[in-house]
Amino acid sequence: MDSTAHDRIPEIALGWHREGRGAALATVIETWGSAPRRVGSQLAISGAGDMAGSVSGGCVEGAVVAEAAEALADGRARVLTYGVSDDDAFSVGLACGGTIRVLVEPVGAALDEALLAGLVAARAARRPIAYIADLSGGAPRLEGAGAALVERFRGDRSGIEGERFIGIHNPPLRLFAVGAVHIAQALVPMARACGHDVTLIDPREAFGSAARFPGVAISHDWPDEALGAAALDARCSVVTLSHDPKIDDPALVAALRSDVFYIGSLGSTRTHAKRLDRLAGAGFDAAALARIHAPIGLPIGAQSPAEIALAIMAEITRVLRSGA
């Protein structure tokens, strides 16, 4: 799912329903051509026509709201198909149109309240979960991140399988950048644009200041302490940028002891060889040390801080999507 996948749309729908306002949840389940929103994008609609989220960027929301009102009246889910013309797409700032299918489910009827509450609870606990809707009329259900869906979870890939729609709800991505250097100043906005929540870690308060990193969550704890308190999981990445072993090494130790999907460290091949010797001396074997991407980033010939940040973000994305 895209970077709006965790903007609390299921939570809002559940809240509206429990407040007695009525709620329906609309989900993009399939697209053709240059569709305005990705599969898995969601829109919550209240009984009064209030909206949160989007399924088309504005092209068909009005029609979906009308269908949601009917769904709330009759208690039945429905699958809708819309063609978005190039002219309509252009009017909301898109280059061209496409076709989308939208599943509309009234909460408390076709979409059981307890099931939606289970989805919301899994998201709150950062537990990957799949919402599986039977498009032939069967009851929806939830499924964990088991082997059958592992590739879908890895790629954040919601979609149709036969008569089922599988909506992937992964925890939000988190990036921990250790070292408040110039590269971090370029990396933070790139990571945010790619859907990562970013935390900057640097015990040197003069480096990790709000003036240099406005609006960024900053920790001045030592990296092992900061990462130890962060509950690192498989939707996290850790990059060390300080080029100071006193700061970078504790962060690498914490990352290697966790399930983070990406670990990267700034430095030359020679610097990394010395780093590996230190970490091996701390008890890490070759398989563990192979998790560290160093020199960090894809080899694109990057030179400036912005180019290095671009190479880092590209490598993080490759590992996230391909697992390697």
Q: Where are the domains of the chain?
A: 9-169, 173-322
The secondary element (H helix, E strand) that includes residue 89 is helix 86-91
CATH 3.30.470.20 fits 173-322, yes or no: no
Is the Cβ–Cβ distance between 262 and 312 less than 8 Å? no
Q: What is the pLDDT of residue 261?
A: 95
pTM: 0.80
Burial class (CB in 10 A: 0-12, 13-18, 19+), 136: exposed
Do 37 and 43 form a contact (C-beta atoms < 8 A)? Answer: no
How many helices and strands (H and E) does the chain possess? 11, 15
Element of type H or E holding 167: strand 164-169
Helix, strand, coil percentages (3-state) for the chain, rounded to 5, are 35, 25, 40
**Residue 264, by phi and psi: left (phi above 0), alpha (psi -120 to 50) or beta?**
beta
User: CA–CA distance from 69 to each of 2, 47, 82, 308 (Å)?
Assistant: 27, 7, 17, 50
Q: What is the pLDDT of residue 83?
A: 76
Side chain identity, residue 310? L
- What is the rounded CA–CA span in Å between residue 300 and residue 308? 9
Gap between the Cα atoms of 188 and 213, Å rounded = 9
* Alpha helices, H only, 213-293: 223-228, 245-256, 269-281, 286-289
Please list the pLDDT of the chain residue by residue as tens digits (324 residues): 333 444 799 999 999 999 999 999 999 999 876 666 789 999 999 999 999 998 877 678 889 999 999 999 999 999 999 876 666 555 544 445 578 899 999 999 999 999 999 999 999 999 999 999 999 989 999 999 888 998 898 888 999 999 999 999 999 999 999 999 999 999 999 999 999 999 999 999 999 999 999 999 999 999 999 999 999 999 999 999 999 999 999 999 999 999 999 999 999 999 999 999 999 999 999 999 999 999 999 999 999 999 999 999 999 999 998 877
Q: What whole-number distance in Å separates Cα of residue 277 and Cα of residue 216?
A: 33
In angstroms, rounded to a whole number, what is the distance separating the alpha carbons of residues 200 and 194? 16
